[in-house]
Chain A
């Protein structure tokens, strides 16, 4: 448990500093978890107080990029919720590619590659990896570097492996990574064709004409305003009939976009954009 605690005023001072210095506006992130991410970062960096953090953020863009990487929580596991991945593999992805040449799929969350690699492996196993155009959002340059290198936490391999076996993958999870010097590297050949999109919390840089958006466990870190705005950005990016996939505990009922989608699968939180 982190014993370093900051107050709401400190949190607001950090928000203001990064808005002023870099134009990144995090004021619509959910307060509790955002405050906690700052506390974790300060503790992990061994900083004494919040003013030191603010000073370093203002002085160095590189430090800010590290901060960005740290404050957007990782999904921490591949193939989280195996039943969803089974559903994608067996139903949604094959349907997506029927009658459309190279449909666009957008991995819109700020994770550190877990969703993207899970998707790429799933597509590869049904021979559709080259039949789609993949777009992936990232927030920090360091995250992008990590994703491109396939770098993954060696301690997570066991969890990833367990999830993979629950979805009854075609191969063995070990086919997709190598370990060297205590680091695990996912096979980055899998993501060679991916278009990476640098994204700010304003959600105004996504691709258009998309047939499926993966946006799982992201709006849980947003307040109501940013949740509504981000889901609206997904809505605008999707073609009619396109799929929106949220985390299993994120409900469109708690957004202002509920009437714009139909429910395809409630337990896996798969939605479809209504055709007007």
Chain B
């Protein structure tokens, strides 16, 4: 029923992402799009770190790469990552949004426009408001919206901003997010 999962996170989200990726079976039926704030000058290392414990391959896509199920796509440093019609990745060097490149809002908005009600959007711990507007677009276009429980977040600015803007479908702990994703067949 769903076609993709998109996850946004910033400060305090690395361990959560690592646990989520670790929990996914190699047969996970959907692509997982990761829009995470990261250091712009550190090109390598992050994708490797996320790969170590991941149940599915984690890739840093090139522009126009086809999006395939059972793989995680990490937005590259210093680029925005869009989802383009035709189920492809599109990258952009245009100016930062919310002081961020990649911007979580831009990834979420473009994913919502492509996958509409077949999208699961998840916002994790983070220290800025980027992602709140994007999650709203996911909801407006019929997708399922989840935020990590602010009580559990290392930094709760991002999740609280998201909840303020959108009546989210679920507020989940990391364990509950994992249980939900594992239930997707």
Interface residues of A (CB under 8 A from B): 1, 30-33, 36-37, 73-76, 80-81, 162, 166, 217, 219-221, 224, 227, 247-251, 253-254, 267
Contact = CB atoms under 8 A, between A and B. Distances in A.
Given A1-B133, A76-B95, A217-B93, A30 B62 contact: no
B57 to A, nearest CB: 17
Contact of A73 (B60, B93, B97): B93
22 contacts: A1-B133, A32-B84, A32-B90, A33-B90, A36-B106, A73-B93, A73-B94, A74-B94, A75-B93, A80-B93, A217-B93, A219-B63, A220-B63, A220-B90, A220-B91, A247-B63, A249-B60, A249-B61, A249-B62, A249-B63, A251-B63, A254-B62
B64 interface: yes
A76 B83 CA distance: 22
B176 to A, nearest CB: 28
A227 B63 CA distance: 11
A220 B91 CA distance: 6
Nearest to B63: A220
B133 A227 contact: no
Interface of B: 41, 43, 60-65, 76, 78-79, 82-85, 90-95, 97-98, 105-106, 110, 113, 133
Contact of A1 (B65, B92, B105): B105
Contacts of B41: 162, 166
Given A30-B84, A249-B79, A254 B94 contact: no
Residue of A73, A80, A249, A254 ringed by the most chain B CB atoms within 10 A:
A249
Contacts of B105: 1
A33 B61 contact: no
Residue of B61, B82, B92, B97 ringed by the most chain A CB atoms within 10 A:
B92
Contacts of A249: 60-63, 76, 79, 91
B81 to A, nearest CB: 10
Contacts of B63: 219-220, 247, 249-251, 254
Contacts of A251: 62-65
A221 B91 CA distance: 8
A84 to B, nearest CB: 11
A33 B64 contact: no
B31 to A, nearest CB: 17
Contacts of B61: 249
Nearest to B134: A1
Nearest to B130: A1
Residue of B94, B110, B133 ringed by the most chain A CB atoms within 10 A:
B94
A162 B42 CA distance: 13
A176 B74 CA distance: 36
Contacts of A254: 62-65
A73 B92 contact: yes
Nearest to A153: B95
A271 to B, nearest CB: 14
The 5 A-B residue pairs with the shortest CB-CB distance, nearest first, are A73-B94, A251-B62, A254-B64, A220-B63, A1-B133
